[in-house]
Amino acid sequence: MTVSSPPRVLTVAGSDSGGGAGIQADLKTMLALGVHGMSVIAAVTAQNSLGVQGYWELPPEAVRAQLDSVLGDIGAQAVKTGMLASAVLVETVAEALSGVDAPVVVDPVGVSKHGDALLAPEAVETVKSRLLPVATVVTPNLWEVSQLTGVKVEDERDLRRAADAILALGPAWALVKGGHLPGAPVDLLTDGDREFRFTAERHDNRHTHGTGCTLASAVASWLALGEDVPSAVGKAKEYVTGAIARGFALGAGIGPVDHAW
Ligand code: PLP
């Protein structure tokens, strides 16, 4: 019997030893949404519910070799990037992805919820000049918007200005996540012409570790399943909202969202 193969989605990101964010969240999301998940590991974090205790980057040759192995044989219908740690790794990944005929979802990871840096400060310029131009969708939170563009979002009315500043750096779509603004969480998606606002109920649950990774992976998964960008983002929001509602306690700190629903 031949079984048809599911769409393939690649994450290029950092490992979270605690299993709540990074590569581990990405692969769990992909499993939950019915695609085949593949992983290129850029960095390894020592991490738990209390924060990131340390991280180690892989050599650029090791990252490039993983990319070549996966893309040269299996291929991908969508790619997601997360924690890339350093300028040389951002450059390596951007170069490899510039030749890939698949949508690329870039989560421009800067710091963790605990405030631990996951990207070297000097790599921000490389993210702007090399990675964002190859992106189909970029998914910054408000802190990342400010780091990448200098735009400070104070209320919902600033979201479009923030998204336009992200679009000026070259991606096809910007999804600005306004979850940290007061009131109901609202995210704004635009390609410069069309604009979509996604609102969700606020869940009073502190166990939200891995939210950003999960959203970006869900967008990539739905793109690989054939949805267009606005529809993929809508479905991904629905999935991450359910995962946040079911987030659970682990360790003494912030627990993960629940991918298995
Ligand atoms: N660890 C890794 C490897 C990540 O990629 C990320 C976020 O992208 C985090 C930790 C931070 O996750 P959170 O901010 O949801 O705690």
Going from the Cα of 206 to the center of ligand 1, the distance in angstroms, rounded, reads 15
- Secondary structure of the chain in HEC code, one letter for each residue: CCCCCCCEEEEEEEEECCCCCHHHHHHHHHHHHCCEEEEEEEEEEEEECCEEEEEEECCHHHHHHHHHHHHHHHCCCEEEECCCECHHHHHHHHHHHCCCCCCEEECCCCECCCCCECECHHHHHHHHHHHHHHCCEECCEHHHHHHHHCCCCCCHHHHHHHHHHHHCCCCCEEEEECCCCCCCCEEEEECCCCEEEEECCCCCCCCCECHHHHHHHHHHHHHHCCCCHHHHHHHHHHHHHHHHHCCCCCCCCCCECCCCC
**CB under 8 Å, gap of 24 or more: what pairs does 174-179 form?**
174/137, 174/138, 174/140, 175/137, 175/138, 175/139, 175/140, 175/219, 175/233, 176/140, 176/142, 176/145, 177/139, 177/140, 177/141, 177/142, 177/212, 177/215, 178/142, 178/153, 179/141, 179/211
pLDDT of residue 1 exceeding 80, the answer is no
Distance (Å, rounded) from C-alpha 217 to C-alpha 219? 5
Determine, yes or no, domain membership for 70.
yes
Has 213 been annotated as catalytic?
Answer: yes
Determine the atom of ligand 1 nearest the C-alpha atom of 45: 3
Has 136 been annotated as catalytic?
Answer: no
Whole-prediction pTM: 0.97
Has 212 been annotated as catalytic?
Answer: yes
Determine, yes or no, domain membership for 188.
yes
Q: CATH code at 92?
A: 3.40.1190.20
Has 210 been annotated as catalytic?
Answer: yes
Q: Taking all residues of the chain, what is their mean pLDDT, rounded to a whole number?
A: 96
Determine the atom of ligand 1 nearest the C-alpha atom of 208: 15
Number of independent structural domains in the chain:
1
Lowest mean pLDDT among 62-76, 77-91, 135-149, 173-187: 173-187
Nearest CA to ligand 1 atom 4: 22
Distance (Å, rounded) from C-alpha 61 to C-alpha 19? 26
ipTM for this prediction: 0.92
Q: Using a 6 Å CB cutoff, which residues line ligand 1?
A: 13-14, 16, 21-22, 45, 47, 82-83, 107, 109, 112-113, 118, 209-213
Which structural domain range is residue 30 located in? 8-245
Determine, yes or no, domain membership for 126.
yes
Please say whether the dihedral angle defined by the alpha carbons of residues 61, 62, 65 and 67, taken in this order, is positive or negative: negative
Determine, yes or no, domain membership for 255.
no
Determine, yes or no, domain membership for 169.
yes
pLDDT by residue (tens digit) across 170-192?
999 999 999 888 888 899 999 99
Has 37 been annotated as catalytic?
Answer: no
Catalytic residue among 82, 110, 212, 255: 212
Per-residue pLDDT at 32: 98
pLDDT by residue (tens digit) across 113-154?
888 999 999 999 999 999 999 999 999 999 999 999 999 999
Determine, yes or no, domain membership for 250.
no
Per-residue pLDDT at 200: 86
Determine, yes or no, domain membership for 257.
no
Determine, yes or no, domain membership for 260.
no
Q: Do 239 and 254 meet the contact criterion of CB atoms below 8 Å apart?
A: no
